[in-house]
């Protein structure tokens, strides 16, 4: 091994802090903040200022008083005989030595301070678990640990540390230490346990404490930090972080199982896992070869995982650093930890080796600038404030390599235990520990956002990714494998939908049915009906006319016939003649009809005499549909019809193009038969009555017509005129419809006003757009006999690709799934590299199988673009259709539709799913329907606008709608304006026509784009306080406190002053929720009008001498119940 490689390996084995110290010493630098002068002892014993880190914890406690989310539990298993009295003496001595363990918090002159209590009794309750059955003892212990970890602290009373000893048997105990994060950190807990171990040996031997007195205390550091923050070094570090974090995304958009709430609670759980020793060694070796530590290698891998999950290329992760940059700080218990913001940009074809080099340099630069408090960084950068996520980063990475100290006595050993406190400070935290057997650790996750099985999958995928990295670090990060083999096999199982179905033409199957049941009613319309036998003869007569007109295999036949029995006969007649029908809706504008006639190369046009005048000029030969009376006569003897196979063309249906030009989808017989024969999403019976309501140019008509007709069922045709809701409901009742398809819009309206009309429906299909959860739940509760099917599918895959069947009451977390692939259909969610997306991760929906169309008529380039080879080899025919829809797989194999990819928007750095806002909107009881769009009525000013229709008899102001949404949606997802409409404009297919939505009236910006003058005496008084705290000259009624320069410490000052000035019980959360003068004024006036009595403020004031509490107790079960200046 070369000298250079050996040095690189030895350097890589150093801790990150020691690597940075070595680098600086080699460069001749003294150190990040200068090491020549120590931190002096403070000159006063009174209240001390808070460090920047403590200020943030104080602020969070004011925001959520009495929460356990910033408790730090540390549990140590003690194996061997224990002297409990000696252990109590140890605890008392540690509390005496460290002022942090005797610290509480209060307010002086509107500013939070820390107060050292001179005397705290160190209790150590003993909980004996020996009476619990042996096999239940571990579970009982875990419950005790979690409950003790969740018991909140009162920062204004203290003590802020609790200790409990649990006895499992005579030689096995567990010591639990719980502190509030404002007085300790992870390093501190190691100091705590190490000192107890040292003191225990000494006290048991009858010796005094061998520990030297501490040179400084936490309050000394706080005083010193205040001065250092005025130094030139602070400005240099701030400039570094400004440059490194410029333009970084405000939030990491990890896909969540549940919607992100407006106020995110910090309840959580842990998923433990381990990585083998060989894999850990391979990662260590890879890092050493690149001059990187194991921390850097694992962080780079985690960045890749997050990039693949979020779809973002700019990844920001937080990572704590001990921040004990001076020798006198190393042995202190206190809250010194700082958080580094580590950014990785995974662009283009960047390999993992290249990413590791980037992460290494980023990390070393961060170490060199680690002294800037994270809280100061947030204050200076002023990221968008939200109670739904933490600022700058939401995901944390930690690598622990601190060993648990050993007790000197051979008969007692210590073993660190992981405690599941049931909390999570961040969306997601990966914490790993180095050990002899490899790497162990856990994912801590917020249970408000994630389900346990999702995080378990994430852990498996992380391990698969690590294996891929060590196998080939020169592979582009975007191509690294993250799906374990078992997940790939599961995708194949979900797509194993193959089943036999007839390889015959549609009309041959119809003829076979007509031969079996010639006298059964096939079609009813307006009181008249026609049998299968007559329909067969009628369609044969039409087919012979078409053959004489030149129709044969593959010829397109224009079909312009009203919804009537003649339409059904004409459809079958075209197919018998070998042609492919092209629906021409008589209600289409003449220009569109002219385009279709030309684009489809229609040489024969089948129509009715009274519609001929509505057609534009054309060159096609017109053939009229003969009346029924002519068709029932025995046809003349003629040549047999041409044999038509499953791949021959059945119809060409035009869909809207993104360029505005319609495109013709060419659908073979095979695709129709696959839809309705031997399928798993519907049950077709001879006694079914299906309503034909959809226009023939809408591919839902394929299901409506051929589903019942190829199984001996009856079609009930709605008359050709445009229907009203009342008429539809009446026909459903009169015809006793059992099989019904409705567009989403029509479904919602019928459920609202004519739910009882669906009493006889046994199978109700709805789709074409997103279904409202409340409407679906109404149907499931009111119609238990009915199977409701949410159907999804593009025309290019013949009506349905997936279906979700529901019967009886169900609960839906977010939206109604679109279900699993139907029979003989494959559905994949793929990323931009055409690889399967992990379960739960959004991607583009691709569909294929036997329902796939041939392509687009005379559009080979577009066909090649949208119909692509199947990269996974799962689909029959080897092709997939790119739907342009965003979706994700759920854990049970169902698919959740997330909207059109071109409806996914990015606003102020946040990626927003418009469908999520729409779902929240329609869940409001006053709202009937709603759609959300992004408008840019002023160049550069992009805003969300909601268009809403209300339930009958309801009235609500737009401001009230916004307030109602604010209870469930983060601020960045709240529309800037609400437009109330009588009805949403719909396309001809029943979908919301977004292009037809009216322009909103000019809005007054809620963000105070224009100055809004103060209007009431309350606003005037509040504005004066605003000006004092913010040190500004002008404040408007709608000016945002945080956008005007406010931060967490100033917010606590402002709330304190408002409480004193108005004698109201205003919480810090109220300011955070409505940070404007007008908003707070309304809250004050509401309290005054309701006669609410002010209570003692949560921000408790103390005298300057700070002698509020003279003696306190460190008891585990009572420590937070002491009375003082309570809440």
For the chain, the domain total comes to 5
276: domain CATH number is: 3.30.559.30
613: domain CATH number is: 3.40.50.980
- Residues of the chain falling short of pLDDT 70: 1-37, 402-410, 628-639, 657-660, 903-904, 906, 908-911, 937-941, 987-990, 1001-1010, 1043, 1047-1049, 1091-1127
- The Cα–Cα gap between 795 and 787 comes to 24
What pLDDT does 405 receive? 56
Cα Dmax for the chain:
121
Region of residue 798 (phi > 0: left; psi between -120 and 50: alpha; otherwise: beta): left
- Tell me, yes or no, whether 520 and 640 share the same domain: yes
Please return the burial class of 991, using the count of CB atoms within 10 Å of its CB with bins 0-12, 13-18 and 19+. Answer: middle
Residue 253 lies in a domain: yes
Residue 217 lies in a domain: yes
- Tell me, yes or no, whether 104 and 242 share the same domain: no
Residue 831 lies in a domain: no
1075: domain CATH number is: 1.10.1200.10
- Tell me, yes or no, whether 162 and 243 share the same domain: no
- Tell me, yes or no, whether 287 and 380 share the same domain: yes
- Tell me, yes or no, whether 322 and 355 share the same domain: yes
Q: Which residues, at least 6 apart from 884, have a Cβ–Cβ distance to it below 8 Å?
A: 844, 900, 901, 902
- Tell me, yes or no, whether 130 and 243 share the same domain: no
Question: Of 656, 678, 700, which residue constitutes the final position of a domain?
Answer: 678
For residue 66, what are the domain limits?
Answer: 48-221
Residue 1115 lies in a domain: no
Residue 255 lies in a domain: yes
pLDDT tens for each residue of 646-666:
999 999 999 876 555 789 999
User: What angle is formed at CA 201 by the lines to CA 199 and CA 206, rounded to 5 degrees?
Assistant: 90
Q: Which residues, at least 6 apart from 513, have a Cβ–Cβ distance to it below 8 Å?
A: 532, 709, 710, 711, 712
Residue 722 lies in a domain: no
- Tell me, yes or no, whether 305 and 215 share the same domain: no
Nearest to 103 by CA among 6, 37, 182, 13: 182
What pLDDT does 410 receive? 58
What pLDDT does 806 receive? 95
Nearest to 627 by CA among 684, 565, 702: 565
917: domain CATH number is: 3.30.300.30
- Tell me, yes or no, whether 455 and 339 share the same domain: yes
- Tell me, yes or no, whether 260 and 348 share the same domain: yes
Backbone angles phi, psi at 399, to 5 degrees: -120, 115
154: domain CATH number is: 3.30.559.10
- Tell me, yes or no, whether 76 and 206 share the same domain: yes
What pLDDT does 1118 receive? 35
- Tell me, yes or no, whether 484 and 429 share the same domain: yes
Residue 784 lies in a domain: no
- The Cα–Cα gap between 250 and 389 comes to 10
What pLDDT does 636 receive? 45
- Tell me, yes or no, whether 474 and 536 share the same domain: no
- The Cα–Cα gap between 904 and 912 comes to 6
Nearest to 889 by CA among 462, 497, 494, 498: 494
């Amino acid at each position: 091994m070369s000298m250079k490689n050996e040095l690189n390996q030895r350097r890589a084995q150093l801790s990150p802090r020691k690597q940075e110290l070595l680098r600086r010493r080699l460069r001749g630098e003294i150190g990040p903040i200068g090491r020549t002068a120590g931190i002096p002892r403070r000159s006063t014993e009174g209240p001390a200022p808070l460090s920047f880190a403590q200020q943030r914890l104080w602020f969070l406690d004011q925001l959520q008083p009495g929460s356990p989310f910033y408790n730090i539990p540390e549990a140590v298993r003690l194996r061997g005989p224990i002297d409990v009295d000696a252990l109590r003496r140890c605890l008392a001595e540690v509390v005496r030595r460290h002022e942090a363990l005797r610290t509480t918090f209060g307010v002086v002159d509107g500013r939070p301070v820390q107060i050292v209590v001179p005397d705290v009794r160190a209790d150590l309750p003993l909980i004996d678990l020996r009476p619990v059955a042996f096999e239940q003892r571990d579970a009982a212990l875990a419950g005790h640990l979690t409950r003790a970890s969740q018991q909140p602290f009162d920062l204004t009373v203290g003590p802020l540390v609790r200790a409990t000893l649990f006895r499992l048997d005579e030689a096995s105990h567990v010591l639990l230490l719980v502190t509030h994060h404002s007085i300790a950190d992870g390093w501190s807990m190691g100091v705590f346990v190490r000192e107890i171990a040292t003191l225990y040996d000494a006290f048991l031997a009858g010796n005094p404490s061998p520990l030297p007195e501490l040179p400084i205390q936490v309050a000394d550091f706080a005083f010193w930090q205040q001065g250092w923050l005025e130094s030139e070094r602070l400005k240099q570090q701030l400039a570094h972080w400004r440059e490194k974090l410029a333009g970084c995304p405000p939030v990491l958009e990890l896909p969540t199982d549940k919607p992100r709430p407006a106020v995110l609670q910090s309840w959580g759980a842990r998923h433990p896992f381990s990585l083998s020793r060989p894999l850990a060694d391979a990662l260590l070796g890879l890092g050493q070869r690149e001059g990187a530590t194991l921390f850097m290698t694992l962080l780079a891998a985690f960045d890749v995982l997050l990039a693949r999950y979020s779809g973002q290329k700019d990844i920001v992760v937080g990572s704590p650093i001990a921040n004990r940059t001076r020798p006198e700080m190393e042995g202190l218990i206190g809250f010194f930890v700082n958080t580094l913001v580590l950014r990785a940009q995974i662009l283009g074809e960047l390999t993992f080796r290249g990413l590791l080099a980037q992460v290494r340099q980023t990390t070393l630069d961060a170490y060199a600038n680690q002294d800037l408090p994270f809280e100061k960084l947030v204050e200076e950068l002023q990221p968008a404030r939200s109670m739904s996520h933490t600022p700058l980063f939401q995901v944390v990475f930690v690598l622990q390599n601190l060993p648990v100290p050993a007790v000197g006595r051979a008969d007692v050993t210590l073993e660190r235990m992981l405690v599941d406190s049931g909390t999570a400070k961040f969306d997601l935290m990966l914490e790993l520990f180095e050990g002899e057997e490899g790497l162990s650790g856990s994912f801590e996750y917020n249970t408000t956002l994630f389900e346990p099985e999702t995080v378990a999958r994430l852990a498996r995928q992380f391990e698969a990714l690590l294996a891929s990295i060590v196998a080939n670090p020169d592979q582009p990060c975007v191509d690294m494998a993250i799906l374990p083999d078992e997940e790939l096999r599961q995708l194949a199982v979900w797509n194993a939908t193959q089943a036999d179905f007839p390889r015959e033409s549609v009309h041959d199957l119809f003829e076979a049915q007509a031969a079996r049941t010639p006298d059964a009613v096939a079609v009813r319309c307006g009181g008249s009906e026609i049998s299968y036998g007559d329909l067969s003869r009628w369609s044969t007569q039409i087919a012979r006319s078409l053959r004489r007109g030149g129709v044969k295999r593959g010829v397109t036949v224009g079909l312009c016939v009203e919804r009537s029995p003649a339409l059904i006969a004409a459809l079958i007649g075209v197919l018998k003649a070998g042609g492919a029908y092209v629906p021409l809706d008589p209600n289409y504008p003449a220009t569109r009809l002219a385009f279709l006639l030309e684009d489809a190369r229609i040489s024969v046009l089948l129509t009715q005499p009274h519609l001929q005048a509505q057609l534009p000029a054309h060159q096609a030969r017109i053939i009229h549909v003969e009346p029924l009376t002519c068709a029932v006569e025995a046809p003349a003897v003629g040549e047999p019809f041409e044999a038509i196979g499953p791949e021959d063309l059945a119809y060409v249906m035009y869909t809207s193009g993104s360029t505005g030009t319609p495109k013709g989808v060419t659908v073979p017989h095979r695709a129709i038969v696959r839809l309705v024969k031997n399928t798993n999403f519907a049950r077709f019976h001879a006694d079914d009555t299906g309503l034909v309501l959809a226009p023939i140019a809408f591919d839902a008509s394929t299901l409506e017509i051929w589903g019942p007709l190829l199984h001996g069922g009856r079609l009930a045709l709605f008359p050709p005129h445009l229907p009203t809701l009342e008429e539809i409901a009446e026909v459903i009742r009169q015809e006793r419809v059992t099989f019904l398809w409705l567009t989403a819009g029509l479904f919602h309206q019928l459920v609202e006003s004519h739910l009882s009309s669906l009493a006889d429906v046994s199978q109700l299909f709805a789709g074409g757009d997103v279904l409202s959860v409340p409407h679906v739940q109404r149907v499931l509760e009111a119609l238990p006999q009915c199977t409701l099917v949410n159907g999804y599918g593009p025309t290019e895959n013949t009506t349905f690709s997936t279906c979700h069947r529901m019967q009886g009451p169900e609960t839906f977390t977010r939206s109604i799934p679109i279900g699993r692939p139907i029979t003989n259909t494959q559905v994949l969610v793929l990323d931009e590299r055409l690889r399967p997306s992990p379960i739960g991760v959004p991607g583009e929906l691709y569909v294929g199988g036997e329902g796939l169309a041939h392509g687009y008529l005379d559009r080979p380039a577009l066909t090649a673009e949208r119909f692509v080879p199947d990269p996974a080899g799962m689909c029959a025919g080897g092709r997939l259709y790119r739907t342009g829809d965003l979706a994700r797989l759920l854990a049970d194999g169902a698919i959740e539709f997330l909207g059109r990819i071109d409806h996914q928007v990015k606003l102020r750095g946040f990626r927003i799913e418009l469908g999520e806002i729409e779902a929240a909107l329609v869940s409001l009881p006053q709202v009937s329907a709603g759609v959300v769009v992004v408008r840019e009525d002023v160049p550069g000013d992009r805003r969300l606008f909601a268009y809403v229709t209300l339930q009958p008899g309801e009235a609500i102001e737009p401001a009230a709608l916004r307030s109602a949404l604010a209870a469930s949606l983060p601020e960045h997802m709240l529309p800037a304006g609400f437009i109330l409409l009588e009805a949403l404009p719909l396309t001809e297919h029943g979908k919301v026509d977004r292009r037809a939505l009216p322009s909103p009236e000019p809005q007054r910006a809620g963000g105070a784009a224009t100055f809004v003058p103060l209007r009431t005496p309350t606003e005037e008084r509040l504005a004066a306080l605003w000006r004092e705290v913010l040190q500004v000259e002008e404040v408007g009624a709608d000016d945002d406190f945080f956008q005007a320069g406010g931060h967490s410490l100033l917010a606590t000052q402002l709330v304190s002053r408002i409480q004193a000035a108005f004698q109201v019980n205003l919480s810090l959360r109220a300011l955070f929720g409505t940070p404007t003068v007008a908003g707070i004024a309304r809250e004050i006036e509401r309290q005054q009008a309701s006669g609410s009595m002010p209570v003692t403020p949560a921000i408790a004031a103390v005298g300057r001498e700070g002698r509020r509490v003279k003696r306190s107790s460190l008891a585990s079960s009572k420590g937070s119940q002491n009375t003082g200046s309570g809440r």
